[in-house]
Amino acid sequence: MIVGQDWTSEEQLRGPVNDHSVMHGYDPDAVTNINLQRLLKEHLGKEFSDVYATNAFPFIKPGGISAPIPAAHMRLAVKEFLLPQIEIVEPQIVICLGLSVFNALRESCGHNRLRTLDDAVKSPFQFRASRIVAVAHTGTNNRKRRGFRIEEDWGSIGRSLVADHESTAVNTSA
């Protein structure tokens, strides 16, 4: 499961209709989606159509596309909408795009908020049968996790999924 922050803003919806978004349910030309699709393919061997993708905040936020969402609103949306989705889908892993999404999920599960993305990347946690992990948001050139660190983070997720799969295969054949 891939979890982004939100899907649009009031200002963006006041602009012209994006035919790609209407046709696909997302904009395949957006930098966020281009980067996400490449990382999924290169590190997890998955196409975007192979994963369950959603957003932590399912509403239209006021302001522009980069406007922040108050933490209390994000936590409420996570409790009311995202946690039930995770319970229903039961993904092996939930990949949170960015610190705000990870912290909202973390706090909604009773854990303390983390200060930095570095801390979040190093602090995966469990919610039911799902491992919750943080990565830099794919739509930005995150100055603190540029290049190899982003690749390293996604590579680490891919390696852990392979290890989990191999462990499960060994346990079921024994």
Strands 130-135 and 125-127, how do they pair? Answer: antiparallel
State mean pLDDT over 22-50: 89
Q: For residue 150, is pLDDT > 90? A: no
Question: Of 43-52, 57-66, 111-120, 136-145, where does mean pLDDT reach its minimum?
Answer: 136-145
**Residue 127: enclosing H or E segment and its boundaries?**
strand 125-127
Homologous superfamily assigned to 2-173? Uracil-DNA glycosylase-like domain (3.40.470.10)
Backbone angles phi, psi at 54, to 5 degrees: -150, 180
Prediction pTM value? 0.88
Pairwise CA distance, residues 101 & 95, whole Å:
10
Longest dimension (CA), the chain: 59
Pairwise CA distance, residues 128 & 85, whole Å:
12
Q: Tens digits of per-residue pLDDT, 111-149?
A: 999 999 999 999 999 999 999 999 988 876 555 555 568
The mean of the pLDDT values for the chain is: 88
Domain regions of the chain by residue span? 2-173
State mean pLDDT over 81-98: 97
The torsion angle over the Cα atoms of residues 89, 99, 107 and 50, rounded to 10 degrees, is 0
